[in-house]
Amino acid sequence: MTGAELKARLEQGGRVYGTMFSLARSPRWTRALEGVGFDYVIVDTEHAPFSRGEVAEMTAALERSGIAPIVRIPVPESHYVTMAMDAGAHGVLAPYCETVDQVREVIGGVKWRPLKGALLRKALDTGEFPGEETHSYLRQRNANSIAVIGIESVPAIENLEAILDVPGIDAIFVGPNDLSITLGVPDRYDHPDFEAALSRILRTCQARNVPVAVHLMDNDRAARWMEAGVRFVLHSNDIRAMVKGFQADFTALRETGKRLEGS
C-alpha cells in the first residue's frame, strides 16, 4: 500500500492496520512481515535511535514490500519533516502537537515540500502560491504524502478544534502514555478521565471525518476503541511482538518439559 492508497481508504471510511518499529534495524525484517497484512509501519525516531541512513534503508524496504512507511519524527518541526520525507517516508507522525503554528509547520513540510520560507508561510496563510504551475507541481509531487498529527496532552485536546481547522491533516494520533500523564492518571487506560478524554478526541475528529489512531498494546482494549470509531489501527510494536511470541512459545515448551519430567 502507498501513502495515497492509505489516504484513499481512510477517506472512504475504511480502516488501515499497522504497527511501529522501535528496535528493528535490518531491512530484512520487512521481508518477514510481507505475509502479515500490514498496510503501514511507523518507524519511530522520537524514542528510538535510528540514524538517517537506517531510516532511508527501512523506508525503502517497507516500500518494496508493499507497506507504506511513515516516520515518527522527534519533534513537530519542518526540518525533521523534510529529513523523513527525503529519506523516503510516505508520511510523518508529528508527536505532541499543541498549537496551530506547530501543525501548520508540519503540514507545510509534508504537503508542500520543497517550498520553504516566506513563500511557504504566505501559501499557508493565504492559499497563494508563486504561480499556478508551482501549485500544481507541488500538489502532484506530494500526492502520496501523509500528515498524522499527535494529540497527546490536555492542552492539545483543548486546542483540537482549532488544530483541525488547519487544512491537510490526514489523521490524528493519540499516545496513551503521554496523554494519561497529563491527565494525572499515568498508564491508567481504564480510568474514567482517560476514557473521557479519548472519547472527546474521537467525537471531535469524527465530526470532521478525520480518522484517529490510538497506539494500544492490548488486543481487547484496541478492539473496544475500534468499536468506538478508531479506524487508523496502530497496534503494538516490534519489541512487544517479539517478547510476547517468545513468552508464549517458551511457556508452552516449559509446560511440556515439566510434564515429561513428571512422567
What are the DSSP calls for 25-37, one per residue? --TTHHHHTTTTT
Question: Strand 16-21 to strand 146-150: parallel, antiparallel, or no bridges (unpaired)?
Answer: unpaired
How many other C-beta atoms are found inside a 10 Å radius of the C-beta of residue 196?
A: 11
Domain-wise residue ranges, the chain? 3-262
* Long-range contacts at 203-212 (CB < 8 A, ≥ 24 apart): 204/160, 204/161, 204/164, 205/160, 205/164, 205/172, 208/164, 209/11, 210/164, 210/169, 210/170, 210/171, 210/172, 211/10, 211/170, 211/171, 211/172, 212/171, 212/172, 212/173, 212/174
Per-residue pLDDT of the chain (263 residues; tens, 9 = 90+): 999 999 999 999 999 999 999 988 888 888 878 888 899 999 999 999 999 999 999 999 999 999 999 999 999 999 999 999 999 999 999 999 999 999 999 999 999 999 999 999 999 999 999 999 999 999 999 999 999 999 999 999 999 999 999 999 999 999 999 999 999 999 999 999 999 999 999 999 999 999 999 998 889 999 999 999 999 999 999 988 889 989 999 999 999 999 999 86
Buried residues in 27-55 as b, exposed as e (16+ CB within 10 A): bebbeebeeeebbbbbbbbbebebeeebb
For residue 23, what pLDDT is reported? 87
Q: What is the CATH number that goes with domain 3-262?
A: 3.20.20.60
